[in-house]
Amino acid sequence: MAALRAEGDDPAELLALIDAVPASSQWRRAESWTIALEQRVTRTDDGGPRVVIASLDAQVSGLRLHLTLPAVAGITAEVELDAPGFTELPDDLLAVLGGGWSSLWRLGDRWRGQFRAPRREPARSEAALAQVQRAAEHRRARWPSRRRAFTSARPRRAGASPCGAACRCWRCSG
């Protein structure tokens, strides 16, 4: 859900801050994905609006990727992936993109992970948005439809496994 939040005591100042941010800045769209931005707006020292991203919610081909950036700089962003209809996802689904993505782990019917964003704004918000857009394009281009199974993105030689020829661990069967 796209949202714009402002905090303060003066209603007129809050309204001026919100009016200074174009509504179109709360969405990013492409042919196969939509990203909704939840943003916080504050007043800068020179009186203008300063907009930072609080969270991103990407809808891509039936999957939902939600990234929450904590208000405190330096804290790792939380990533949640809802994939209705999928029973398994490779743990390196987003990590193969690099750029701060961690491996995923299953938690009930969802997958969780982390994203390491830069410490300071505006680089923090810009990096989070760019990486979520990159993940959405990755999904559109690479992730299979619901009718096919996921496979790991780890490169493998034919007949070889990291642990041994007959191994069935998570690294070798992924």
Task: List pLDDT tens digits, range 110-156.
Answer: 899 999 999 999 999 999 999 999 988 887 665 544 434 444 444 44
Answer yes or no: pTM beyond 0.85.
no
Q: Structurally, how many domains does the chain consist of?
A: 1
Please write down the long-range contacts of 87-90, taking CB distance under 8 Å and 24 or more positions apart: 88/149, 88/150, 89/150, 90/150, 90/151, 90/152, 90/153, 90/154, 90/174
Residue 149: which domain range?
3-173
